[in-house]
Structure 1
Amino acid sequence: MATTLIKNAELAVAWDTSEKAHTYAPDTDIAFTDGTLTFVGRGYEGTADTVIDGRGLMVMPGLVNIHSHPSSEPLNKGFLDEIGSPGLYNSSLYEYMPIFRADADAVPSCVRVALSELLLSGVTTLADLSMAHPGWLDLLAEAGMRVCIAPMFRSARWFTKNGHVVEYEWDEKAGEKAMEEALRLVERAEQHESGRLFGMVVPAQIDTCAAGLLKESNQEAKKRGLSWQIHAAQSVVEFHEITRRHGMTPIGWLDSMGLLGERSIIGHGIFLDDHPSTPWHTKDDLNRLAETGTTVAHCPTVFARRGIAMKDIGRYIRRGVNMGIGTDTYPHNMLDEMRLAAHIARTQAGDPRTMTTTDLFNAATIGGAKALGRDDIGRLAVGCKADFSLVDITHPMIRPAYDPLRSLIYAAGDRALKAVFVDGNKVVEDGEVLTMDYRQAAAHLNEAQKRIASGVPQRDWAHRSAEKIAPPTFHWS
């Protein structure tokens, strides 16, 4: 029951309980015991076993990332930066991502690389949407991060034989079995000795899940008090597929089955009935999301690579939609993702006032916490988890420091993070992850990528090489 005190922090992004909002609090003491914050304010008079000098530091609540794929995405670096299927509205989901998928030997290194990058950018809570893999729970616990394990399951797989038509191979019984296995894995996670793992129910994609699986999984989530997340409104192909099958938009179909709600999360939620790429005869989708209290997990980087963008996060927030931020793809850098979210919103709206940094930081903290059903993360308040970052506000890229959070997000990024704590334990110090060997994992992944690349022609419908699909920036002489 040792107590640690951060004495006289130059600044804290503290939680104002009366206002229910973050606030800048200068000259603040922060104490925590056994992983829980016990004091946030001025003039701490209690005892402390360890004292951290807060001069020159800003204490910031840990960032909450509600949508990520650590077991696969790090391997795609260099492959998927510039490609999207022209016959499939520039999505990379159907033609390219399956052929670059990590094999079993590469998965642990993928996870270690992704989680290391997330920790280095101030993420203390993560939703890991992955297919189940051996040793998953222990690997997540190794990172020292707080993780919502989200094993995906589905009734069908998608594929293309020609690069312009998506087909589906259905096996509904296999989907039901996979859901049962996912629920057992969630139960194991919640009993894990680390005490930092919890669960979520995740039917993988709206177009690969039968209606029965969607309804049953949502009922299970409600019964167990868990959040429920699905990829939906993430591609033009999917939008057309759902309207063809059901005569409703993806969001409309989910709403018709009663699947939207305060613990429901829509992964991406871009292609609504009023998006310029998917105009529909209704104009109800955004209101449906707002009125049901549904959260949208916004991950701009993976779409910006394809020339695709949400129209826009500021519009969703003003309409009353709860927004969270995720890092769907590499780099797994939450601060970079936040900066891009702001810039994409402003360019799409043609208006620098469409969203504020307040909106953005709320999405990355309390918005994500709300989606996960947690009121003990994403804020610095007594009784909350001791999950936070120490930011060096004397760093040259922070200064001049008229508004330190803006300087962090729009200029300094992770370079100004001095340390990261989860459950009161230091997991990052001076740019180094203390719980995982980031460099070794990256080296292993580098070799694994060569192996994956060599097998691309066997997995590609047109038997193209990796170099043909993703030509290098320059010719190798």
Structure 2
Amino acid sequence: MTTTVIRNADLVIAWDAAEKQHIYLTDAEVAYRDGQITFVGRGYDGPADEVIDGKGMMVMPGLVNIHCHPSSEPMNKGLIDEIGSPGLYNSSLYEYMPIFRADAEAVPSCVRVALSELLLSGVTTVADLSMAHPGWLDLLAESGMRVCIAPMFRSARWFTKNGHVVEYEWDEKAGEKSMGEALNLIQRAEQHESGRLFGMVVPAQIDTCSETLLKDSFQEAKARGLSWQIHAAQSVVEFHEITRRHGLTPIGWLDEMGLLSERSIIGHGIFLDDHPSTRWHTENDLDRLAATGTTVAHCPTVFARRGIAMRSFGRYRKRGVNMGVGTDTYPHNMLDELRLVSYLARTQSGDPRSLSSTDLFDAATIGGAQALNRDDIGRLAPGCRADFVMVDVTHPQMRPARDPMRSLIYAAGDRAIRSVHIDGQVVVKDGKVLTMDYEGAAAHLDEAQKRILDRAPQQDWAHRPVDKISPPTFRWA
């Protein structure tokens, strides 16, 4: 085993274990061996088989993305950027997304594009919420990323026949079978030779899963020591569907079933009982989340496109809810997502002090690590995995350099990232993904989208041409 040392780094975002917070550490060094950090600080005098020059660099922990759909979302670029169903409270879930779904041939390119974009924006760990597909585990391992595989399963599918009513087709036995297959796949992931794959139990959506499936999946997650995530409080349609069925809000129903816990993650969690779009006769959803230690996975971009926003990120944090961040849609750029988290939180609260850069970075690192039940990622400290990002603090958009983290989030973004390392291995260097053919996958996806568009009208309930569903920015002459 060789020891690698980053010497003379201008800055290290180090972990202060006593205070349980990240700190700026200047003129510092980081050492790691066999994929594990052995030293963070100043004055390292141990072995150094390989030395990396840290001059002009900020070394920070890799970002932790707890909610992502790599196998499908890249296909939607240029199609659903500006559309939502007016009869379904502007959501695109029920009417539009199903007709542009990637086919089996396109899925690997979707995954390579999404994971490449995540790597380029400093993500070293991602939760991949996808339906199982051939070669999934090897494809994830190819990326070099640390991946929480989260195969989704459900008891029903949703659809609309008219653009304003959502219907459900139920098959509870199929849901139970899919859960069994998902659990087997998670076990295989944890045994994968890469050593970087682990699992999470994910019943897909609160309105497409039976009560039995929800409870059984939660018990399986608990017995296996895994996190459990579900899409809930993600649309007005879903909120009304659950209140109609159970007389409780989505969060209230989950709590009533005992499914909120420190291992639970709510994908989105926007439409609570006190949200202006879903005012209910109670106002305790936020307290339920906080009291149970439940995490909310916040992904603002996909909702902001449709005029929807959480009310608000800072309020959830101040109430005591553990917050994590994901990239539910393209672009899969975590730093862009963090910037939008901040701006929307402040505009929704009407208070520029409602959310700080400290809050943002915590959510994207230790908040996500906590949600995934990992204490060895999301921070730079001895004993943690050597998952880190080197940022060029001399980049023009990083200057003036009074507060480098703010400069990274609000100005430079991924343009200042020089390299990304996972288990100490370089996976991004000088803006180039080393583990996957990003450019080739994007080119293949461009061709695949043309194929998907040809069949889209047949998938649509009204058989509309694509240019009517999603009008182009300009008329094609």
**TM-score normalized with structure 2 length:** 1.00
1:48 shift after superposition: 1.1
The aligned residue for residue 392 of structure 1 is 392
One-letter amino acid of the structure 1 residue matched with residue 189 of structure 2: A
Name the SS of the counterpart of 1:455 in structure 2. helix
The aligned residue for residue 331 of structure 2 is 331
1:149 shift after superposition: 0.1
The aligned residue for residue 11 of structure 1 is 11
Question: 1:293 and 1:47 mapped to 2: Cα distance?
Answer: 42
The aligned residue for residue 128 of structure 1 is 128
The aligned residue for residue 39 of structure 1 is 39
Q: For 1:100-115, list aligned pairs within 5 A.
A: 100-115=100-115
Name the SS of the counterpart of 1:343 in structure 2. helix
Unaligned runs of 5+ in 1: none
The aligned residue for residue 363 of structure 1 is 363
Question: 1:473 and 1:206 mapped to 2: Cα distance?
Answer: 35
> Is residue 353 from structure 1 mapped to residue 353 from structure 2 by the alignment?
yes
Question: 1:58 and 1:457 mapped to 2: Cα distance?
Answer: 50
The aligned residue for residue 72 of structure 2 is 72
One-letter amino acid of the structure 1 residue matched with residue 444 of structure 2: H
Question: 2:245 and 2:401 mapped to 1: Cα distance?
Answer: 54
- Stretches of 4+ moved more than 4 A in 1? none
Name the SS of the counterpart of 2:67 in structure 1. strand
Question: 1:121 and 1:447 mapped to 2: Cα distance?
Answer: 25
Question: 1:101 and 1:213 mapped to 2: Cα distance?
Answer: 25
1:41 shift after superposition: 0.5
One-letter amino acid of the structure 1 residue matched with residue 120 of structure 2: L
Q: For 1:11-30, list aligned pairs within 5 A.
A: 11-30=11-30
The aligned residue for residue 404 of structure 2 is 404
One-letter amino acid of the structure 2 residue matched with residue 240 of structure 1: H
Name the SS of the counterpart of 1:265 in structure 2. strand
Name the SS of the counterpart of 2:398 in structure 1. coil
Name the SS of the counterpart of 1:47 in structure 2. coil
The aligned residue for residue 460 of structure 2 is 460
One-letter amino acid of the structure 1 residue matched with residue 384 of structure 2: C
1:370-412 CA-partner distances (Å, limit 9, x unpaired): 0000000000000000000000000000000110000000000
Name the SS of the counterpart of 1:206 in structure 2. coil
1:306 shift after superposition: 0.3
1:93 shift after superposition: 0.1
> Is residue 144 from structure 1 mapped to residue 150 from structure 2 by the alignment?
no
The aligned residue for residue 432 of structure 2 is 432
Name the SS of the counterpart of 1:167 in structure 2. strand
One-letter amino acid of the structure 1 residue matched with residue 40 of structure 2: V
The aligned residue for residue 228 of structure 1 is 228
One-letter amino acid of the structure 2 residue matched with residue 461 of structure 1: W
Name the SS of the counterpart of 1:290 in structure 2. helix
One-letter amino acid of the structure 2 residue matched with residue 273 of structure 1: D
Q: CA RMSD in A?
A: 0.3
One-letter amino acid of the structure 1 residue matched with residue 277 of structure 2: S
> Is residue 344 from structure 1 mapped to residue 344 from structure 2 by the alignment?
yes
Q: For 1:212-291, list aligned pairs within 5 A.
A: 212-291=212-291
> Is residue 191 from structure 1 mapped to residue 219 from structure 2 by the alignment?
no
One-letter amino acid of the structure 2 residue matched with residue 374 of structure 1: R
Question: 1:322 and 1:393 mapped to 2: Cα distance?
Answer: 30
1:466 shift after superposition: 1.3
1:465 shift after superposition: 1.4
1:41-87 CA-partner distances (Å, limit 9, x unpaired): 00110121111111100000000000000000001000010000000
Question: 1:137 and 1:437 mapped to 2: Cα distance?
Answer: 17
Name the SS of the counterpart of 2:265 in structure 1. strand
One-letter amino acid of the structure 1 residue matched with residue 315 of structure 2: R
Name the SS of the counterpart of 2:11 in structure 1. strand
Name the SS of the counterpart of 2:60 in structure 1. strand
Question: 1:74 and 1:405 mapped to 2: Cα distance?
Answer: 28
Question: 2:104 and 2:192 mapped to 1: Cα distance?
Answer: 23
Identity across matched positions, percent: 79
Question: 2:24 and 2:288 mapped to 1: Cα distance?
Answer: 34
1:274-294 CA-partner distances (Å, limit 9, x unpaired): 000000000000000000000
The aligned residue for residue 296 of structure 1 is 296
One-letter amino acid of the structure 1 residue matched with residue 472 of structure 2: P
Question: 1:118 and 1:124 mapped to 2: Cα distance?
Answer: 8
The aligned residue for residue 474 of structure 1 is 474
Question: 1:415 and 1:141 mapped to 2: Cα distance?
Answer: 25
> Is residue 377 from structure 1 mapped to residue 382 from structure 2 by the alignment?
no
Question: 2:188 and 2:257 mapped to 1: Cα distance?
Answer: 29
1:348 shift after superposition: 0.6
1:94 shift after superposition: 0.1
One-letter amino acid of the structure 1 residue matched with residue 316 of structure 2: Y
The aligned residue for residue 175 of structure 1 is 175
